[in-house]
Each structure stands twice: as structure tokens, then as C-alpha cells.
Structure 1
Amino acid sequence: MASSTKSETAIDVESKSTKRDAAAAVALAKATPLQHGRASRGIAIFDFVLRLCALAAALAAAAAMGTTDETLPFFTQFFQFQASYDDLPAFAFFVVANAIVGGYLVLSLPFAIVAIVRAHLVGVKLLLLILDMLAVALTTAAASAAAAIVYLAHNGNANANWFAICQQFTDFCQRVSGAVVASFIAAGLLIFLVVLSAVALRRH
């Protein structure tokens, strides 16, 4: 009898322990999707903020370069030296490329909002990832081409007899240099957006 009572007690303890483990597993299974949804929504919100920052940087770069123009004062108005961004194809490409990227970022904002509201949608995130990579390539190409011209403007090239013009066109060089820096900032933010989108897709 004593042996039977002990076995029944052991069975009851094991049964209660099994029920507790099952209840804990069910609670964990219910909590995990909720936590996953909050994390995905947090990533989507951060993505939206980064897009706004990249948009501001790209438009600032395009505006700064597109309004760059300087004329050196001389004794007569018929003999003047002028420097303008559209004198150099690399700078013209820079303005167009950053304007295109800025326009894309504006159009991507509604999709980013959809990704916040419906964090489980994978198609929207995949589309933004692909377009973000194209924007990274375009911004990096434009910023790199303009940076090469800015370097020559500051330092020249003695072997090719290209003289540095920044000692004369000071304001021109300051504005184009600032525009290039802003474009590289936009490219960096876009790269971070690509990484963030890849992480969000991996979580799915």
C-alpha cells in the first residue's frame, strides 16, 4: 500500500510538472510573435527616420552644387573669370544623380509607412532593398566623380599642368566640397538602410 501511494504521488508530481511546462511553452509561443512584431515595427520606424535623413542630405547636396557659381572681380566687366558647376560634366552628373536619389527617397516614404503599419509584409521590404541598392550605386558614383574634380581643384596636377583654382575661387570650392560631403553622408545612410532592410528580411 505504501509503495502504491508513493507511486501515485510521484505520478501526480510529474503530471503537474508536465502541465506547468506545457503552459510555459504555450505562453512563450504566444509572446514570441508579439515580440517579433514589435521588433519588426521598431526596425521599420528606424528605417523611415533614416530615409528622411538621407533625403535631406541628398537634396542638400544637389541644391548646394546646383547653385554654385562664382565670378572673379576684375577692373573691367568685359574681362572676367567665372566658375560654375555646369562647366564640368562630373558636377552636372552629380546634381542630376542626387536629385534622382532625392526623388526616389520621397517616393519611398509611403512604402516605408506601409512597412511600419504592416510589419509582416515581405514584398514591400524586398522592393525597397533592391531600389536602395540602386540608389547607393548612383549616389556613390556621383560623389566619387565629383570628389575627384574637387581634389584637382584644391591640389591641381603638376604632371598634366592642371593648376589648383581654389586659391582664386574660394567660395566655389567651399560649396562644391560641402556638396560632396553631403552626398557621401547620403550614400552612407543608404548603405545603412540596405543593411537594415537585409536584417529585417532575415528575421522573417
Structure 2
Amino acid sequence: MELGIAKWEVCLRVIAILFLVSTACLVAFDTQTKVIFLTYSKKATYKDLDALKILVYVTSTAAGYNLLQLCKHTFSALPSISNFKSSYYMYIAWITFLLDQITVYLTFTANSAAFQAAIFALNGSEAFQWMKICNKFTRFCEQIGVAFLCGYIASLLMAVFSTISAYKVLRMYSSKRFMRLKGK
């Protein structure tokens, strides 16, 4: 059962990395230029909205973290590390669990904040005198929408393997172990 869970976790991490990289690339490389008046043109990029810049940074960092976790899985499978694994497994499991939780929450939060900012770009806001930008840059806005979809899928996948991390931590605290500690 342990091997099956590890295989699922590796598979989910690879898929999440693909979605995270897709999100970062779709947002970072999305540009559209429109001619506003004769020779005056306006170029829409992710740098125009701070929330999109933060989304690129967060998703790139989350993809890097998950890649490091894949490397950890690769090295923990080596037989020479088995002594190290048994003595520090509890600490590594807790650190992995906490970092997985942080990564999930940061990715979901950055995606939601960028989505909210994109809604303002889509609808505008008369109170702030903001124009509807997506009327002029439709391809840009559609590609950003696909990036949000990829980001939310990656967040859901990371939530699943964060649950696997929680399982790995909590299974170390079985009822038999607590009964032994209570009796001493």
C-alpha cells in the first residue's frame, strides 16, 4: 500500500508541476498590442497588473518546490539512505506536510487575487473610473482566463497530495503508540 501511495503522489506532483508551469507561462508570455489612435499603440502584458506578477512568481516557486519534492522521492528510494530515513523520517514528514500546506494556500490565494483583479479588468469599475480592458484586449484576457483555470487545477492537485502528506504524518501516531506512551 505504501508503494501505491508513493506512486500516486509522484504522479500528482508531476501533473501539478505541468499545470503550474502552464499557468506561469500563459501569464508571463501573454501579450497583445492594439493600435489606439493612428500611431499610438498600447501593449497589454502581465506587468500591467501587480496581481498577475505575483501569480507568476508564486506559481513558479510552487513548481520549483514540487520539483524538489520529486527529487526527495527519488533519493529516498535509494537503499543507502534507509538508515537516514528511519531516524529522521518524522521530521521530514512534518516539514513536507507544512510546506505542502503553505504551497497550496499560497498558490490558491495568488490565483484568487489575480482572478479578482481580472474581474475588475473585465467589468471595469465606475467608482474608481477604471475602464473595461477586456473589450480592447480580448485574446489577452482569454489566455489569462485559461491560466486561471490551470492554476486552480494545480491548486486542487496540490491539495490532494497535501492530504497524502497529512496521512503520512498522522499514521506515525497510531493508537498503539499512544497507549504505550500513556502507560509509562
Decide: shared fold, TM above 0.5. yes
The offset of 1:86, in angstroms, is: 0.5
Match for 2:31 among 66, 69, 72?
69
Distance 1:125 1:115, change over 3 A: farther
Structure 1 equivalent of residue 151 of structure 2: 183
User: In structure 2, how many angstroms separate the alpha carbons of the residues matched to 1:43 and 1:113?
Assistant: 14
User: In structure 1, how many angstroms separate the alpha carbons of the residues matched to 2:64 and 2:53?
Assistant: 17
* 2:95 counterpart of 1:134: no
What TM-score, normalized to structure 1?
0.73
User: In structure 1, how many angstroms separate the alpha carbons of the residues matched to 2:73 and 2:155?
Assistant: 18
> Equivalent residue of 1:73, what SS?
strand
Equivalent residue letter for 2:18: A
The offset of 1:112, in angstroms, is: 2.5
> Equivalent residue of 2:40, what SS?
coil
User: In structure 1, how many angstroms separate the alpha carbons of the residues matched to 2:134 and 2:103?
Assistant: 30
> Equivalent residue of 2:47, what SS?
helix
Equivalent residue letter for 1:109: L
Superposed, which structure 2 residues align to 1:7-46 within 5 Å? Answer: 39-46=1-8
Equivalent residue letter for 1:181: L
Deviates most, 107-116 or 185-194: 107-116
Q: Over aligned residue pairs, what C-alpha RMSD do you find?
A: 2.0
Match for 1:113 among 74, 78, 85?
74
Report if aligned partners of 2:100, 2:165 keep a CA contact under 8 Å in 1.
no
Match for 2:42 among 81, 84, 89?
81
State the Cα deviation string for residues 131-179 of structure 1 (Å, max 9, x = none): 1111112212210111011111222223333222212101110111111
Structure 1 equivalent of residue 65 of structure 2: 104
> Equivalent residue of 1:80, what SS?
strand
Which has the higher relative contact order, 1 or 2, with Cα contacts under 8 A spaced 6 or more apart? 2
The offset of 1:93, in angstroms, is: 0.8
Structure 2 equivalent of residue 192 of structure 1: 160
* 2:165 counterpart of 1:165: no
Larger Rg: 1
Report if aligned partners of 1:115, 1:124 keep a CA contact under 8 Å in 2.
no
| Ranges in structure 2 where 5+ consecutive residues have no aligned partner | 173-184
Report if aligned partners of 1:153, 1:164 keep a CA contact under 8 Å in 2.
yes
| Ranges in structure 1 where 5+ consecutive residues have no aligned partner | 1-38
Structure 2 equivalent of residue 52 of structure 1: 14
The offset of 1:188, in angstroms, is: 1.1
